[in-house]
Amino acid sequence: MAFGKGCHLHLIDGSAYIFRAYHALPPLTRKSDGLPVGAVAGFCNMLWSELQKDHGADGPTHIAVIFDKGSHTFRNDLYDLYKANRDEMPEDLRPQMPLTREATLAFNIACKELEGYEADDIIATLARQAREAGGRVTIISSDKDLMQLVGGGVEMFDAMKNRRIGPEEVEEKFGVRPERVIDVQALAGDSVDNIPGAPGIGVKTAALLINEFGDLDTLLARAEEIKQPKRRQTLIEKADQIRLSKRLVTLDQDTPLDFTLDDLELRDPEPEVLMDFLNQMEFRALTRRVADHFGAAPPPAPEIAPVSERAPEDAPAPEQAAFTPGDYVTIRDADTLERWLDQARARGWLAVDTETTSLDEMQADLVGVSLCIEPGQAGYLPLGHTAGGDDLFGGSAPQPGQMPMAQALALLKPVLEDPAILKIGQNMKYDFKIFARHGIRVAPIDDTMLLSYAMHAGLHGHGMDALSDRHLNHQPIPIKELIGSGKAQITFDKVEIDKATAYAAEDADVTLRLWQAFKPQLHRLRATTIYETEERPLVPVLADMEMAGVRVDTSVLARMSNAFAQKMAGLEDEIQQVAGQPFNVASPKQLGEILFETMGAEGGKKGKTGAWGTGADVLEDIAASENEQAARLAGLVLDWRQIAKLKSTYTDALQTHVNPETGRVHTSYSIAGANTGRLASTDPNLQNIPVRSDEGRRIREAFVAGPGMRLVSLDYSQIELRILAHVANLPEMKQAFKDGIDIHAMTAAEMFGVPVEGMDPAIRRQAKAINFGVIYGISGFGLARNLRIPRAEAQGFIDRYFERFPGIRRYMDETVNFAKEHGYVETIFGRRIHTPEINAKGPGAGFAKRAAINAPIQGAAADIIRRAMVRMPDAIADLPARMLLQVHDELIFEVEEGAEEALIGAARAVMEGAAEPAVKLSLPLVVDGGVGHSWAEAH
DNA sequence: AACTTCACG
DNA sequence: GACGTACGTGAAGTTC
Task: Give residue-wise pLDDT tens across range A902-917.
Answer: 999 999 999 999 999 9
What is the Cα–Cα distance from A112 to A204, expressed in whole angstroms?
A: 36
Residue A2's φ and ψ, nearest 5 degrees, are -75, 145
More confident residue, A408 or A20: A408
Output the CA–CA distances (angstroms, integers) from residue A412 to A380, A401, A408, A439, A442, in the order listed. Answer: 13, 18, 6, 11, 10
Radius of gyration of chain A from its Cα atoms, rounded to whole angstroms: 31
Residue A657: burial class (beta carbons within 10 Å; 0-12, 13-18, 19+)? middle
What is the Cα–Cα distance from A15 to A259, expressed in whole angstroms?
A: 20
Q: Residue A560's closest CA among A648, A477, A474?
A: A648
What is the Cα–Cα distance from A183 to A187, expressed in whole angstroms?
A: 6
What is the Cα–Cα distance from A869 to A865, expressed in whole angstroms?
A: 6
Query: Per-residue confidence at A385, pLDDT binned at 50, 70, 90?
Result: very high
Residue A199: what pLDDT?
Answer: 85
Query: Per-residue confidence at A315, pLDDT binned at 50, 70, 90?
Result: very low
Whether A120 is covered by a domain: the verdict is: yes
Residue A878 has pLDDT above 60, yes or no: yes
Contact, A608 CB vs strand B, < 7 Å: yes
Residue A322's φ and ψ, nearest 5 degrees, are -70, 155
Whether A16 is covered by a domain: the verdict is: yes
Do A391 and A499 sit in the same domain of this protein? yes
Residue A395 has pLDDT above 80, yes or no: no
What's the angle, vertex CA A681, arms to CA A676 and CA A687, rounded to 5?
Answer: 90
Helices A844-875 and A761-775, packing angle to 10 deg: 100
Residue A861's φ and ψ, nearest 5 degrees, are -60, -40
Do A204 and A290 sit in the same domain of this protein? no
Contacts made by residues A296-305, CB under 8 angstroms, sequence distance 24+? A296/A271, A299/A275, A302/A32, A303/A32, A304/A31, A304/A32, A305/A32
Query: Per-residue confidence at A310, pLDDT binned at 50, 70, 90?
Result: very low
Query: Per-residue confidence at A83, pLDDT binned at 50, 70, 90?
Result: confident
What is the Cα–Cα distance from A220 to A359, expressed in whole angstroms?
A: 62
User: Who among residues 579-618 of A has its Cβ near strand C, under 7 Å?
Assistant: 584, 586-587, 589-590
Do A485 and A584 sit in the same domain of this protein? no
For residue A173, the enclosing domain spans: 8-264
**Ordered DSSP codes for A426-443:** SSHHHHHHHHHTTT----
Residue nearest to nucleotide C7 (CA to C1'): A776
Which residue, of A665, A693, A714, is where some domain finishes?
A665
Contact, A200 CB vs strand C, < 7 Å: yes
pLDDT digits (tens, 9 = 90+) for A616-644: 989 999 999 999 999 999 999 999 999 99
Whether A416 is covered by a domain: the verdict is: yes
Mean pLDDT, residues A777-805 = 91
Contact, A656 CB vs strand B, < 7 Å: no
Do A116 and A253 sit in the same domain of this protein? yes
Q: Residue A936's closest CA among A905, A906, A892, A904?
A: A892
Whether A23 is covered by a domain: the verdict is: yes
CA dihedral A114, A120, A121, A127 (to 10 degrees): 110
Residue A62: what pLDDT?
Answer: 95
User: Who among residues 367-426 of A has its Cβ near strand C, under 7 Å?
Assistant: none
Mean residue pLDDT across chain A: 91
Count the neighbouring beta carbons within 10 Å of the beta carbon of residue A574. 15
Do residues A18 and A12 lie in contact, with contact meaning Cβ atoms separated by under 8 Å? no
Residue A509 is which amino acid? D
With residue A378 as reference, give the H or E element that holds it. strand A377-382
pLDDT digits (tens, 9 = 90+) for A426-478: 999 999 999 999 999 999 999 999 999 999 999 999 999 999 999 999 999 99
Report CA(A592)–C1'(C14) in Å, whole number: 13
Report CA(A637)–C1'(B5) in Å, whole number: 13
Instruction: Specify which residues A424 forms β-bridges with.
Output: A351, A446
Residue A542 has pLDDT above 90, yes or no: yes
Query: Per-residue confidence at A139, pLDDT binned at 50, 70, 90?
Result: very high
Do A199 and A59 sit in the same domain of this protein? yes
Do A252 and A368 sit in the same domain of this protein? no
Contact, A129 CB vs strand B, < 7 Å: no
What is the Cα–Cα distance from A366 to A405, expressed in whole angstroms?
A: 9
Residue A303: what pLDDT?
Answer: 57
Residue nearest to nucleotide C13 (CA to C1'): A586
Residue A308 has pLDDT above 70, yes or no: no
Do A336 and A288 sit in the same domain of this protein? no
Contact, A687 CB vs strand B, < 7 Å: yes
More confident residue, A63 or A143: A63
Residue A390 has pLDDT above 90, yes or no: no
Which DSSP category does A132 fall into?
H
Q: Residue A135's closest CA among A148, A143, A126, A122?
A: A126
Report CA(A610)–C1'(B2) in Å, whole number: 14
Do residues A667 and A703 lie in contact, with contact meaning Cβ atoms separated by under 8 Å? no
Nucleotides of B under 7 A from a protein CB: 3-9
**What's the start-to-end Cα distance of chain A, in Å?**
76
Report CA(A783)–C1'(B9) in Å, whole number: 19
The residue count for chain A: 939
Which residue, of A624, A649, A665, is where some domain finishes?
A665
Do residues A631 and A625 lie in contact, with contact meaning Cβ atoms separated by under 8 Å? yes
Do A601 and A650 sit in the same domain of this protein? yes
Do A344 and A301 sit in the same domain of this protein? no
Residue A304 has pLDDT above 70, yes or no: no
Whether A931 is covered by a domain: the verdict is: no
Q: Residue A42's closest CA among A100, A87, A114?
A: A100
Whether A317 is covered by a domain: the verdict is: no
Nucleotides of C under 7 A from a protein CB: 1-16
Whether A355 is covered by a domain: the verdict is: yes
What is the Cα–Cα distance from A19 to A219, expressed in whole angstroms?
A: 37
Number of independent structural domains in chain A? 4
Mean pLDDT, residues A141-152 = 91
Nucleotide in closest CA–C1' contact with A835: C7
Instruction: Specify which residues A154 forms β-bridges with.
Output: A137, A151
- Helix and strand tally (H, E) in chain A? 38, 23
Residue nearest to nucleotide B5 (CA to C1'): A615
Do residues A891 and A865 lie in contact, with contact meaning Cβ atoms separated by under 8 Å? yes
What is the Cα–Cα distance from A126 to A128, expressed in whole angstroms?
A: 5
Report CA(A331)–C1'(C7) in Å, whole number: 50
Whichever domain contains A559, its CATH number is 1.20.1060.10
Report CA(A231)–C1'(C4) in Å, whole number: 19
With residue A272 as reference, give the H or E element that holds it. helix A271-281
Residues 6+ apart with CB under 8 A from A295: none
Nucleotide in closest CA–C1' contact with A688: B8
Query: Per-residue confidence at A491, pLDDT binned at 50, 70, 90?
Result: very high
Contact, A629 CB vs strand C, < 7 Å: no
What is the Cα–Cα distance from A416 to A439, expressed in whole angstroms?
A: 11
Contact, A613 CB vs strand B, < 7 Å: yes
Whether A850 is covered by a domain: the verdict is: no
Residue A196: what pLDDT?
Answer: 87
Report CA(A613)–C1'(C8) in Å, whole number: 23
With residue A21 as reference, give the H or E element that holds it. helix A14-24
Whichever domain contains A502, its CATH number is 3.30.420.10
Which residue, of A239, A264, A289, is where some domain finishes?
A264
Residue nearest to nucleotide C16 (CA to C1'): A609
Do A277 and A253 sit in the same domain of this protein? no
Residue A391: what pLDDT?
Answer: 58
Do residues A372 and A340 lie in contact, with contact meaning Cβ atoms separated by under 8 Å? no
Is there a cis peptide before residue A444, judged by omega within 30 degrees of 0? yes
What is the Cα–Cα distance from A56 to A53, expressed in whole angstroms?
A: 9
Query: Per-residue confidence at A305, pLDDT binned at 50, 70, 90?
Result: very low
User: Who among residues 752-811 of A has its Cβ near strand C, under 7 Å?
Assistant: 769-770, 772-773, 776-783, 785-786
Nucleotide in closest CA–C1' contact with A610: B3
Which DSSP category does A706 fall into?
P
Report CA(A168)–C1'(C16) in Å, whole number: 17
Do A25 and A164 sit in the same domain of this protein? yes
Nucleotide in closest CA–C1' contact with A589: C14
Whichever domain contains A129, its CATH number is 3.40.50.1010
User: Who among residues 205-244 of A has its Cβ near strand C, under 7 Å?
Assistant: 205
Do A592 and A616 sit in the same domain of this protein? yes
Residue A256: strand, helix, or coil: coil
Q: Residue A689's closest CA among A362, A934, A433?
A: A934
Residue nearest to nucleotide C6 (CA to C1'): A782
Report CA(A461)–C1'(B6) in Å, whole number: 25
